[in-house]
Structure 1
């Protein structure tokens, strides 16, 4: 082979190798495009992936969600999207571990701390329940709150039981139904349609930033604030297994270095900042905050204890040291606040 032919062959090989190494990830975001997750957190994460892989792996956010909120995991499994974020309350028939962060009166008011604690608990206690995708991170958002859409605040079990309430699917629905209230349960993205039309007279599970994001603050009169976190939502971030297999082991490690705990922290910190800003808008919106009567909080905590007992039982069946995981999760929060 002549020198000229050899150089041409080498150039062709280098070109083919470079082309093969490029991988693009379609990262879906089911929140509105203006939501800070779609506008800030996920784009910044994509930039980090491109940086740590030196451009060998790139990402793209579609202008609108390619699937409904309950279908994020299914969309990634089918390859409709390469990566996505899923509310764990919608897949509790598939995964058990991350529900530890959704148990009533288990969390705190610090989303960043809860997100770090959940990921550490996952690494220490949870088996790989996401057996059809590759898990990239898990995080927890600001605690959901209890709101009244009437001039009468909710500050007793009796008042709560008399209401028709919108709730997130999962633990909150179970508690509210047990107490005898009427329930309309949908993903958060559908909350506006229910709340704005007056189908319900109260709602539980959204935080302050969600009131703004889903444009329901205008229909809300009072917020009953508990000392503990009545409810927190946890989410999982994952990628299609085939897409993950396209990426070299070195780049997989690099991606995990900016995912896992690092991505969990960014989600949580973003929620803390957005929630604080939204709470500052309460006064202008005419929304009043009242402190929960201690007897009401104690009764609600007692009424929801069956959920913790049920989670421990189901987690044990899934091969998880449930009490150990719960104790560890809460100890991580205690260590953060001390």
Structure 2
């Protein structure tokens, strides 16, 4: 065979093999919520199915059987390539990102996780789309609002009562607010809340929503829930993919994946939390959890006491190059629509 023909065939073979290698990507998706949680059983599997459909099977994915890292290290796990895709609670990476904390400001959210999730994604696109510089962002979302529960027969419905308690609080603003109000505070990631609350280390807890109350098996330890007119706190998450893995995917397939991620995936996360929380709240009466409407004076005092959280975030976000005041107003306006 002539030398030129041999070289041509070799080049074609290399091109075909390279194209084949680039045409198929399998994503390893980490889900730290637990095998029975709706994120792992419903939302992410549905997203995986859509990814495989819109890419005609060129991109496939599977959820890892066990989390490769604890909740605070989801971002690090994807950066190091231990997983291709993961979800991270934004409150645990506030030293890295500030934008999505806009949805975690006290008394800003609404009792509608789907609406908050879409509003957050729209705010991201408008004000901080490129904040993640070590991974490729797929979506951001907000879950059902965190609640205040009493483990004793006395509801928590005044600053004095709150200050008299030892409270488990979600890390971040809630822990800071609770400390400022002179209550004793124990703070861990939500997935570790049961080991603190079930052992009686605390006599109240703040920050888990109704979904988490059930999924983390906390219902037996709650006697009452203090319900505020506006949520005291909401929690936001980010979902992202390793940049090297993302680069393996063709531009056409990247566009298709982004089309079914972003706002659409954010809404799916929010809907799942709304539905799960509604189911859990429907069980309150059966398990003896009384819902107490917050005393307006208590709520007003908490709004005032928590103002420092938003003031600090406005400063920190502005220092990170975000038009923080405009972002916050945009997010609130989207919720009001």
1:226/1:292 contact within 8 Å kept: yes
Structure 1 position 127, deviation (Å): 4.8
- In the alignment, the residues of structure 2 paired with residue 217 and residue 11 of structure 1 have an alpha-carbon distance, to the nearest angstrom, of 62
Match of 2:103 in 1: 101
Q: 1:236 corresponds to which residue?
A: 238
RMSD between superposed Cα atoms in Å: 1.8
SS of equivalent to 2:140 = strand
Provide structure 1 residue ranges, at least 5 long, that are not aligned to the other structure.
none
Asked whether 1:307 is paired with 2:309, we answer: yes
> Which of structure 1's runs of 4+ aligned residues deviate more than 2 A?
5-20
Q: How does 1:79-98 map to 2 (within 5 A)?
A: 79-98=81-100
Structure-to-structure mapping, 1:44-55, within 5 angstroms: 44-55=46-57
Which residue of the partner structure matches residue 71 of structure 2?
69
- The answer on whether the counterparts of 1:127 and 1:320 sit within 8 Å (CA) in structure 2 is no
Q: Give unpaired runs (5+ residues) of structure 2.
A: none
Once the two structures are TM-superposed, the CA of residue 8 in structure 1 deviates from its matched residue by 12
* 1:118–1:139 CA contact under 8 A, matched in 2: yes
Q: Which of 163, 166, 177 is residue 164 of structure 1 equivalent to?
A: 166
Q: Taking structure 1 as reference, are residues 92 and 257 closer, same or farther at Cα in structure 2, changes over 3 Å only?
A: same
Deviations 1:110-140 (CA, angstroms, capped at 9, x unpaired): 0000000000000001152210000110000
Aligned match for 2:323, one of 321, 325, 329: 321
Q: How many residues align structurally?
A: 333
CA shift at 1:20, angstroms? 3.4
Q: TM-score, normalised by structure 1?
A: 0.95
Deviation readout 1:111-170 (Å, 9 max, x if unpaired): 000000000000001152210000110000000000000101000000001110001110
Looking at structure 1, the residues matched to 309 and 10 of structure 2 have their Cα atoms a distance apart, in angstroms, of: 67
Counterparts of 1:218 and 1:173, CA distance in 2: 23
Q: How does 1:165-204 map to 2 (within 5 A)?
A: 165-204=167-206
Contact kept? 2:22, 2:248, Cα under 8 Å: no
Q: Which moved more, 1:7-16 or 1:99-108?
A: 7-16
Query: Does 2:274 correspond to 1:272?
Result: yes
Q: Which residue in the other structure is 1:255 paired with?
A: 257
Q: 1:97 to 1:253 in 2, by over 3 A?
A: same
143-152 or 119-128: bigger deviation:
119-128
With normalisation by structure 2, the TM-score equals 0.95
Query: Is 2:31 the counterpart of 1:29?
Result: yes
Distance, in Å, in 1 between the alignment partners of 2:11 and 2:60 is: 28
